[in-house]
Homo-oligomer: A and B are copies of this chain.
Amino acid sequence: MIIVMERTATENNIQKVTKTLEEHGFKFMINRGEIHTVIDAFGDKTTLTPGRLAAFEGVKEIKVIREPFRLASRDRQPEDTVIEFSNGVKIGGGNRPVAMVGPCSVEKDYDGLLKVALAAKEMGCEFLRGGAFKPRTSPYDFQGYEELALKYLKRASEETGLLTVTEVMDSADLSMICDYVDVLQIGARNVQNFKLLHAVGKCNKPVILKRGLASTIREFLLAAEHIMYYGNHNVILCERGIRSFDSAFTRNVMDIASIPVIKKYSHLPIIVDPSHGTGQRYLIEPMAKAGLVVGADGVMIEVHHDPENALSDGKQSLPIPMFKDVMGRINKMNNRLHYERTCLSANVE
């Protein structure tokens, strides 16, 4: 790390820093500039954290050179993580992008869910998603059908062969949820609910981790690190839009560039969720394609058999006929992208 001293730092301030570095076995070099003294230090940051040195008198700031995530970093694992399911479906590592589709919430009408699942199956999608526990900004909104919804998901999975995804909001529900579904999801609002990250870190199910509304890319990868640190390395990142100063036309701003950035710095797979990312039905297709063309390993799309009567997120859900059209075009793009990446020697697509 680089320790930048204040212009007004005294010789004493500097020595206190270097003495502490010595005590912790750091190597360092002192560079005295015209204005600032700068100390380059190399050593084990688990025994002496940058945050601790930042508190020393006369220290202006600490610049950390190495990315703070380790298990999630491509520095440690150059090859892509590939997550493989028992039915042979694979996510990541240049495999053909997957599709996860379904209603925001699983509702009381099982037939509606089944219609969506059958359409998903027909269009070649691999996963059925649906909420059983719903994080809602207002306590007056619908909060999910909990175990009933999980049962419906499992039943639809048995009827169609689709894998299933649902969101976990509380570690207390985790073992029940694991009994029903194939993939756990951590929502954007829980991206720094560290206790929950630790709990899913101890599970043996793959976890979709959604980027928080205010997560930097670094914090997002550190949230994945929390899960991996507790033993679960099957983390699938999900870009779903961040908060910006403009929400007049889209709920969030999708940070499409984060996908190739994360591909560069991490080996974890990453998918894109244009339903939450934009909140607008008409933007789902273009933004799914934008994510895929820059390298996303899959898409997550909200589909409802009757969006105008959906209990949540109808505005950003595709009705089934529109879903089939959109998915047909996305499939064509995925086929082409996959062909180019595997059969041609294209550098980047």
Q: Mark A293-318, 1 if CB is under 8 A from B, else 0.
A: 11100000000000111111111010
Give Cα A138 to B64, complex, Å: 14
This chain: copies in complex = 4
Interface segment among A31-39, A80-88, A121-129: the answer is A31-39
Q: Knowing A38-B40, A253-B242 touch, does A315 contact B222 (C-beta < 8 A)?
A: no
Give A313-349 interface residues, CB cut-off 8 Å to B.
Answer: 313-315, 317, 325-326, 329, 346-349
* Closest CB in chain B relative to A141 CB, distance in Å: 7
Across-interface contacts of A348 in B (CB, < 8 A): 282, 285-286, 326, 329
Question: Nearest-CB distance from A312 to chain B (Å)?
Answer: 7
CB proximity to B under 8 Å, residues A16-54: 16, 29, 31, 33-36, 38, 40, 42, 45-46, 49, 51-52, 54
Chain B residue nearest to A67 in the complex (CB)? B35
The interface bits of chain A over 76-105 (1 if a CB of B lies within 8 angstroms of the residue's CB, else 0) are 000000000000000000000000000000
Question: Is the pair B315, A55 in contact by a Cβ cutoff of 8 Å?
Answer: yes
Best-surrounded residue of A16, A33, A213, A257 (most CB of chain B within 10 A)? A257
In angstroms, Cα B273 to Cα A84, docked, is 37
Q: Would A217 and B52 be within 8 Å (CB), given that A253-B257, A255-B253, A283-B257 are in contact?
A: no
CB distance from A313 to the nearest CB of B (A): 7
Question: A-side interface residues toward B, CB under 8 Å?
Answer: 2, 4, 7, 16, 29, 31, 33-36, 38, 40, 42, 45-46, 49, 51-52, 54-57, 63, 65-66, 68-70, 75, 133, 135-141, 143, 169-172, 189-190, 192-196, 212-214, 216-219, 222, 225-226, 229-230, 242-250, 253-261, 264-265, 277-278, 282-283, 285-287, 289-291, 293-295, 307-315, 317, 325-326, 329, 346-349
